[in-house]
Structure 1
Amino acid sequence: MNKSKETTLHQRIVSDIEGHIVSGEWPPGHRIPFEVDLTKEYNCSRMTVNKALTQLAKAGLIERRKKSGSFVTQPQAQSAVLEIHDISAEVQSLNLQYSFAVSKHEQRRAKADDVRRLDVTPGSFIVDVACVHQAGGRPFCLEERLISLSTVPEAADANFSEMAPGAWLINQIPWSSAEHRIHAVSAGSDEAAALGIPRNTACLVVERRTWSNNGPVTHVRFTYPGDRHALVARFTPASQ
């Protein structure tokens, strides 16, 4: 087989497999046909197939497991560190179906930990709400949110059954400043149960506080299984 034909076949194999994955025809966990089967299907050398699969693995689309074959990887979401993003849009960017379910919703007075997290006065009224966001029917992210009723009194009547708390707030009230804190944790029993992962699984936590001109708006803690999320920051050199 001449070199140009081999290159064309390599590109075709990459394109075909990528198409199956991006379209959703081959979902996460799907086994890619074995090298010997792809060799017969494309009537090419094993080396050509191996090169194509290696390229797909480097791109993060598949995972190659020794003696087991190659499998479609779980898509990893990316979000900008300094942006306030909509999780539903984040999930849909992965070509996966989005849904969410509220697991906790109550109004109460702020306790000591709430005062620290939300920057409100002790005893002030807050909304404490939690929900699990899902991607393709699998838990994607646990959201735990506190909302200040002094700043956002409308939250007292919101039920969040049709719109997730974050999206509701973005539509409801403008924010003037925000603070992010990012760290890694091992999943405790509550996080493990909510996300359907083993306890002590490595997780990425993004905490955010926002303020409006009238005071603190919300504190939210997003917990992601560590293999399903990445943070991206774009920046330019400081002026000399």
Structure 2
Amino acid sequence: MGESPAPLYARIKQMIGDQISSGAWPPHHRVPSESELVSQLGFSRMTINRALREMTAEGLLVRMQGVGTFVAEPKGQSALFEVHNIAEEIAARGHRHHCVVVSLLEEQAGSERALALDVREGQQVFHSVIVHYENDIPVQIEDRYVSAAVAPDYLKQDFTRQTPHAYLSEVAPLTQGEHVVEAILAEPAECKLLQIERGEPCLLIRRRTWSGRNTVSSARLLHPGSRHRLEGRFDS
């Protein structure tokens, strides 16, 4: 007996994949909408939707809520065992970085934050939330708490011109870092900032940094799973 034909959704994925691999649909090319693909290909909307969902999960497409579906850039990557500046990582790939400062304010440390930053509960800390973009696509929410004692001028900085990591590296040179990595689902507000559908898996890096004996910052770095990967190397 011969092989059974591929399912319809798999055939659609192959057709779209061929357009991408041939260069006919380059990165950031807008993919026809589900309705347009139904009209062009004659398949059911359910079949088209499954093909697009699977290709998004595989990192080949990016679906931006309320905007459309686009061909993805090859996934950005970060070093797992090193602490790098996201702006430099993006520039090294030959891409354009910019960011939007969502909030930048002073708070009093609650018990969890006090423990993370090794300060007294109720002590002054700084809190910034920044969305980083790669070629106009949001790739990271940086939710960072900073010790006010270590970086007293943090709130005065323009983080659209210099990232928090770059600034903190100047005022409190990094001597040690800690990463904890998790796979999570983003909160609705985070999905909106990242322009992703609810339910898309995300990669979360919890990062703490030290300068000498001083804890400098505690950051929560959230990436859409379809747009990011981590890479590490170690010697035995």
TM-score > 0.5 by shorter chain: yes
Q: Match for residue 179 of structure 1? A: 178
Q: Which residue of 2 aligns with 1:149?
A: 148
Counterparts of 1:61 and 1:231, CA distance in 2: 14
Q: What amino acid is aligned across from residue 219 of structure 1 in structure 2?
A: S
User: Where do 5+ consecutive residues of structure 2 fail to align?
Assistant: 1-19, 32-57, 62-69
Partners of 1:137 and 1:161 in 2: CA distance: 14
What letter corresponds to residue 28 of structure 1 in structure 2? H
How much identity, in percent, do the aligned residues show?
30
Q: What's the offset of the Cα at 1:117?
A: 3.1
Matched with 2:199 is 200
Task: Give the structure, 1 or 2, with the largest relative contact order (CA under 8 Å, sep 6 or more).
Answer: 2
Alignment check: 8 A CA contact 1:18 1:61 kept:
no
Pair 1:62–1:192, CA change in 2 (3 A): closer
**Distance (whole Å) between structure 2 residues aligned to residue 150 and residue 131 of structure 1:** 21
**1:89 corresponds to 2:78:** no
Q: Deviations over 1:220-240 (max 9, x none)?
A: 111000011111111122xxx
* One-letter amino acid matched to 2:130: C
SS at match of 1:120: coil
**What do you get for the CA RMSD once the two structures are aligned?**
2.7
C-alpha distance in 2, partners of 1:90/1:217? 22
| Deviation of 1:28 (Å) | 3.4
With the length of structure 1 as denominator, give the TM-score of the two structures: 0.68
Task: Write the distance in 1 (CA, Å) between the matches of 2:71 and 2:187.
Answer: 28
| Mapping for residues 13-28 of structure 1, pairs under 5 Å | 26-28=26-28
Q: Once the two structures are superposed, what CA deviation does each residue of 1:181-219 show, in whole Å capped at 9, x if it has no partner?
A: 000101111210110111221000011101112411001
After superposition, residues 1-240 of structure 1 pair within 5 angstroms as 26-29=26-29, 72-237=71-236
Aligned to 2:52: none
User: C-alpha displacement at 1:18, in angstroms?
Assistant: 7.8
Give the deviation of 1:78 after TM superposition: 1.3
Contact 2:104-2:155 within 8 A present in 1 as well? no
Contact 1:151/1:214 (CA < 8 Å) preserved in 2? no
Deviations 1:53-94 (A, max 9, x none): xxxxxxx9968xxxxxxx954320111111111111222233
Any conservation in 1 of the 2:59–2:75 contact (CA below 8 Å)?
no
SS of equivalent residue, structure 2 residue 153: helix
